Amino acid sequence: MIPHSFGSDFGDQINRDAVLVDKNHNEFDVNVERTNGNIYFTKGWGALRDFYDITFGAWITVVFLGLGRFEIKKIKCRVKRKINFPTFVPPPLDSTLIELWCLLLSMVCFLHLFMIWHFVLNPLCLQCHV
């Protein structure tokens, strides 16, 4: 739960979604729900727990940046041990996908160069199309 005093001061600046960002630029999208004047982070909160390997709960310090964004300043587990911020490394792209992107890019470049040659550099073709 977000402290009630924060909700009364800044609650109107938070919509139904928020983004939590740590110092390594890991981002977590969470839903924001309001109940009885309180503000809660709900759906998406579990991804934070899984990413930081929080097993028995933790204290999380966040700073409101505005526009529904919060910076995660520190995370301490229940026994006051600081949790380090890991860096997410996405899995490598499949080589087939890279080859398809290269093929598509080369086709686009070829079409672009052909159009330049056909309509700009070849004046005889311009006379044919007039």
In tens, the pLDDT along 10-65 reads 878 888 999 999 998 899 999 999 888 788 889 998 898 888 888 888 888 899 99
Query: Using CA atoms in the order 98, 102, 108, 109, what is the torsion angle rounded to 10 degrees?
Result: 150
> What pLDDT, on the 0 to 100 scale, is given for residue 8?
78
> What pLDDT, on the 0 to 100 scale, is given for residue 124?
58
Give the pLDDT band (50/70/90) at residue 109.
Answer: confident
CB burial class (10 A; 0-12, 13-18, 19+) of residue 64? middle
Read off the amino acid at residue 64. F
Instruction: Report the half-sphere exposure of 21 (CA within 13 A, side-chain side).
Output: 13
- Residues 32/17, Cβ–Cβ less than 8 Å: yes
Match 């996908």 to its residue by tokens: 97
Using a pLDDT cut of 70, give the percent of the chain over it.
80
- What 3-state class would DSSP assign to 53? coil
> What pLDDT, on the 0 to 100 scale, is given for residue 130?
47
